[in-house]
Every structure is written in structure tokens, then in C-alpha cells.
Chains A and B, each alone.
Chain A
């Protein structure tokens, strides 16, 4: 019971802090004070208090978009073990559902964007769809690498069987999976070098342009959902990289939080030192990540057989 409470508390409360950490890191690089660490919480609270504006051309799809999107990300968060090896809703085959819940969230964001009929949002949705194609293999192949030692498509089994890969120097497949997952994390959460979350230029945006017409609580759900997505993918990465204890313990919680914070700072550093990729180069970046994960999978299979 306590495990579930802590799991849900982490999932619900922690994500917006990551955005604050990223922004603080970027501000430090830019020599600015930057917004408060808790700014994302304030923003969400503010948006929840506001009313929403709906265009007359939109249908229920537009209104359903943010809710379904947040709901599917939340469900994905309940499938993924956070501070231990057990998740509230874990079952055999949950790895597949996890990936597709993220896909469902994206699908509804795109459908809501297309529903507005705006040229910008259509453009954003088409870009999101186009970049999801090369990003998905990277996610699936990385998940496959993680699942190979357990020979089961379940997070719990996978974490149980996961050797302390990098710590024991077992094999480089996990490193490949971690790098591919990091690339997926940047792409899925519209961070630089794939997308620029801070730009105001409609023509260059991917994710931001799809949510231009959302306002008030709907937009709060979108902000919150994307923070949670970032948190979840980062948690996956933390599990691959750090030895999280099997059973719930304070060590596990602290390791998870520290890992998440470190990844947020790393994203902030990446955003501070590289420029965004040209849009035509983004598929190359993601295909590169997929190929890397594929190589990792080949190594894992070979080592697993040997």
C-alpha cells in the first residue's frame, strides 16, 4: 500500500520540478537569475484557475485531446516502476502497453491540433507524426534490450533480472540503450536539438504549435502531461543507469529523485550548448538513435546467447 502511495505521490508531484531545474540550468549558463524553481507549479495552478476559449470550428476531439493525452501519460506512469521494482499496474506485457500509451497521448494531441483546422497546427501535427516514425523504433529497441535478460516483456521482470550493467561492466548494450533513450527523451519532450520549447516562432515549432489553441485548464493539462512524460522517460533511463533497490526504500526514492534531477540538469546543459537541428536533420538524429539501439540489441542477443 505504502509503495502505491509513494509511487503516485512521486508521479503526481515531482514532474513540474524538472522543468524548473532545466530552466534554472539554462539561466545559469545565460548568466541570468531565471524563473523560480517552482515556476511550472505556479503556471499550472494559474492556468487551472482560468477559463478556456474554444473556437467554433472545433469539435469534441479538440476538448478531449488534453484530457486523453494526460490520462494516457498518467497510465503509463502507473505501469512503470519508479522507486522500486514494482509498479501499481504492472503485468506481463506492460512494456508494450507503456510504449503505446505514449503513442496514444501523441495521437490525441495531434488529433486535437488537426481539429482546429489551423495551417500552423496542421503543420505541427504533420511534423510530430513524421518524427514519431523514427523515434518509435529507438524506444522499442531500447526496451527490448532492457527486457532481454528477463526474457519477458514486463518492467518488473526486466528490473529484477537487470544486471548492474554499467557498474559491473557487463556489456555495452545498456549504454547504447541509455543513449538511445536519452535521444528519445529529448525528442518526445520537444527539447533542443529536436524542438525548441521556448521559441515563439510558429513556423519552426513542432510540439508548441500543436497546442497554440488550447487555453486555461486544457493548457494546464498539456503542460502537466508533458512534464509527466519527461519524468516517466527519465525514470526509465534512471532505472537503466542506476542500481535502484528491488524493494521500496528511502534509498530508492532518493536515488530516483537525484537521477531525475541530474537528467534535468543534463538536458539544461544540452540546451545551453547546442543549437537546434534543422528540421530536415531531425529524422537523421532519431534514426541514428534507432540504429544505435539496434546495435545494442544485437550485442545483447549475442551476449545473451553466449
Chain B
């Protein structure tokens, strides 16, 4: 199977570019583990670098369970490179030498830095030459942490700036509002932020290990709990991964329903974010009306799934509930009303001069920075990067119904707000169309056992951006590894960069415009 994917997937030009280096596959397309090429670390770095220079993006960098036969018991590292313009995913393995260290990619690929810190922290494999090899989730104060506490957690200082008039501000992990815990360390000169370092990990629950430890029936609930606001996104990525590994395709009817709930989740969050942005600048009408509208979309999810966050709707093989004819009518009526109210409120917000003065030129992330950091989702699109899994690596219903990618240019808070507005509009249109045209159909297929020794990359465009789940199965058809990459993992460094030379008083607004998940990052 890996062979036919090789035969028909690469576009012609890649034949001249060392075609054997990477194994090309697509979203949700399982490959045999043995087909993933494994190379030594200097070549690994060169291959990753050249793939990124040709437009790919490091989607994941993870440690695979050891393949005893192939690598004599040492582990191997897998790079997942998403080539968005060509809609394909490149896989390359690195055989970790006995020294348990490899040449760090971070000096040439900044997007690899967090992944390498994670690998160092949980597997004690050292990326040589990493510029800031600090634990990502485990802190000296929180030890023991990491995978089974196998890696010692050294005390690692925060980046510091010295000089006259420089002061340090520490925020969190306990905050004044009801938000997740995270620690932010600012180096300031007066009100200007010179550097922001973000220390997370307070929410680490060992989600990935739980996946493997739990019985299969529990895994869906774990996927739904990775990030409480991305229930559907992670559940869908998990189910797609499982379905691909067992070679089944959910019925079209279920795919459509999945698309509807995924967009409803996006809607409720984007609408809520627009309200929260208004709240942070003290703009009352925007905050209260958007806050109410968020409830409207959550209620629609409730109508479909019985849970305002869509828990238990998506199952491996399909979905659990159907939409009756009367439900369709009520949902369409509610959608029409919510659509009108939402656009009126959004127009009011974006027409208010004081909002413009506050949102524009605040927390700017340049296009080049977004590319270099490998940002994803609305944050990347606000900086002009046209990347959207629904468009670039279409899955489920998005292969048949396309949603145009919404981008903006300026990369500031205004751009991030505008992208959310545009996306919400398009999602409403999509949901309306899909509900109106919804036919009868089967809800789910029976699940099948997993194919042995396979690997799948399952990507879903959640409301925050690309959710990637990488799963492998062992010889007995059991899951042997499960890696979750929440979009927040890619985007947190973007927030730190957005704050450079900004006013410290604008941090809450910038933070809200990113609205990243702490739990999704900490896993």
C-alpha cells in the first residue's frame, strides 16, 4: 500500500529532488511502518531542511516505539512534514545513535525547538546544539514529571535581560480570571516588553500514555478531554486515525454530520473569542452580544449531540446520532437568526473606531515569522499564510464540500479577529448548506481490527488550527504509540514573539487573540 502511495502521489518534480528521501503519504492514509525510511542524523537534518525550504512544514517530530529488528533496540525519531500546497505528508525516520543524542534541527528550523525539548524531556534523547534546551512541561518545582519521571529535571533559569531600568514581571500560574494555569515571565523596560518566556506544563495529565494504557473503549473519552474546548476536533482526529488504521471509511452521511459539528464547534469558539476580545478592551456591547451568540451555537451542538460541547457524538466508524426532519428545521431557523445577529454585532464591532484603534498594530506577527515558526490555524492565516487542513489535506466531507481559506495580511490583533469573523461566516454558510441538503443514510460502520505494523497521520482543522494525531500499531494489531499535537503546541512561541517590543498592558489582548489551549499543549 505504501508502494502505491509512492507511485501515484508525488508530483513529477519531486523525482528530481531525491525522491527516496521521504515517504510521501496523505492525510489519514496508513502506511506500513517498515516503509518509513530511516536515515542517520546529518542526513535527517538535511532532508528536513530541504523539505521545509520547498514549502513543507514540520507538523510533528516524535519518538516512535523501537523497532527491535531494524535498529538494534535503539529508538527512532519520526518527522512528519506537511506539504500544504501539494496536499501530501512526508515521513522520515531518524535512527537514534547509541549516544542517545542527535543533531538538533532547531538552529535551522525554529519550528522544531519545542518538539526537541519534548523529546529530550520525555525520552532523554539529547538534541545536540539546541539553543534553549529547557524542559517543556516538567519544572523543577513540579517534579516528578515527564514519562515516568525517567529524565531528571534540572533547574533551568528564565531568560533574563540586565541593565538599567529593566524589570521582571512574573504572571501566573494562578491568574485573576477563570483561565488555565501558565506562567509568563516578562523582561520589561518600563512598559515595553523586551522578552516574554512562557512556561507551561501545569496541566500535564499524561494523556498520551493514558491512550496506550486504557482499554480501547476509554480512548474516545480521553481524546475528547485533551482540550475541553476542542472536544470534536480531537475526537474526530482520533476516530479518523483509528478508521484509517483499520481500513474503514465512515458512511458519507456520518461524514457530513461530522463536518456540521466540527464547524459548530469552530463557530461557538470563534464567536466567543470575538466577544472575549471586546471584553478585554472594555467594549461592552461586543462582549455581551457575542457572549450570548456563543451560547446559541453551543445549543445547536446540544440539539445534535445532547452535549453543549459535542461530547459523545463522534465515534470510531461514524457518528452516534442522526438529525430528524424537525430538528433540521429548528436548527436552520436558529442558524438563520444567529447568522443575522452575529453579522450585525460583528459589523458594529469592526465599525467602532475605538476598537480599530485598539486592535490595529497590536501584537503583530510578520508573515516570515509565522512561516519560520510553523504557526497554524487562524493565527497563521491572519499573518497571510494560506494554510487550512480542510483545504490542503481535505478529510471527511471537506473532500466534497470546500470552504474557502480565510486569510488576512496584517498579522495583528485586528487580522486575527477579522479571520475569525470571515471563518465564522463561511462556517455558517457551510452548516446551513449541509443541513439543508442532508439526506438519509447510515450512521456508522462496524469497527474492524487494526492492521498490524502500520502508521497513520490524522490531521483535522480544529478551530485553533491543525490537530495532528500520529498513531502506530504493533504486530498484534494493538496501538503501540499515540502522539497528539494540538495546534496550540505550534502557536505558543508565536505569542511570545508577538509580544516583543509591545506594551505589557497589551499582553492580555494579544493572549486572547491567540487564545491557545494550555491543556492541549501540556497533554
Contact = CB atoms under 8 A, between A and B. Distances in A.
Interface stretch (A106-114, A143-151, A192-200): A192-200
A275 B503 contact: no
Given A203-B505, A271-B282, A32 B357 contact: no
B285 A119 contact: no
A215 interface: no
A233 to B, nearest CB: 20
A144 B506 CA distance: 37
B328 interface: no
Contact of B503 (A32, A271, A279): A279
Interface string A175-209: 00000000000000000110010111111100000
Interface in B317-335: none
Interface in B144-173: 167-171
Interface residues of A, number: 30
A200 B209 CA distance: 36
A31 B292 contact: yes
A114 to B, nearest CB: 13
A186 B352 CA distance: 20
| Chain B contact residues: helix, strand, loop or mixed | helix
B397 interface: no
A120 B191 CA distance: 12
A127 B191 CA distance: 9
A120 B355 CA distance: 25
Interface of A: 26, 29-32, 119-120, 123, 127, 192-193, 196, 198-204, 271-281
A278 B288 contact: no
Contact of A202 (B171, B191, B355, B506): B171
Given A196-B282, A278-B358, A203 B352 contact: no
B282 A276 contact: yes
B503 A276 contact: no
Contacts of A192: 282
B280 interface: yes
Contacts of B167: 119
Interface of B: 167-171, 176-177, 191, 278, 280-285, 287-289, 292, 352, 354-355, 357-358, 362, 503-509
A30 B284 contact: yes
A275 B507 CA distance: 16
Contact of A276 (B168, B281, B362): B281
Given A32-B288, A119-B169, A123-B169, A199 B282 contact: yes
A272 B357 CA distance: 17
A119 B282 contact: no
A272 B285 CA distance: 6
A201 B168 contact: no
Contact of A279 (B191, B352, B357): B191
Of residues B176, B177, B352, B507, which shows the largest number of chain A Cβ atoms within 10 Å of its Cβ? B176
A190 B289 CA distance: 24
Contacts of B292: 31
Contacts of B282: 192-193, 196, 198-199, 271, 275-276
Given A119-B168, A193-B354, A200-B177, A275 B281 contact: yes
Contact of A274 (B170, B352, B362): B352
A31 B293 CA distance: 13
A202 B176 contact: yes
B285 A29 contact: yes
Nearest to B291: A30
Contact of A30 (B168, B288, B503, B506): B288
Contacts of B355: 275
A280 B285 contact: no
B171 A278 contact: no
A278 B284 contact: no
A198 B177 CA distance: 11
A65 B167 CA distance: 25
A120 B281 contact: no
Contacts of A119: 167-170
A273 B354 CA distance: 9
Of residues B280, B284, B362, B509, which shows the largest number of chain A Cβ atoms within 10 Å of its Cβ? B284
Nearest to A279: B505
Contacts of B176: 200-202
Of residues A196, A275, A278, A280, which shows the largest number of chain B Cβ atoms within 10 Å of its Cβ? A275
Contacts of B284: 26, 29-30, 271-273
Contact of B506 (A31, A193, A278): A278
B354 A275 contact: yes
A274 B283 contact: yes
B273 to A, nearest CB: 16
Contacts of A279: 191, 503, 505-506
A207 to B, nearest CB: 13
Nearest to A276: B282
B288 A275 contact: no
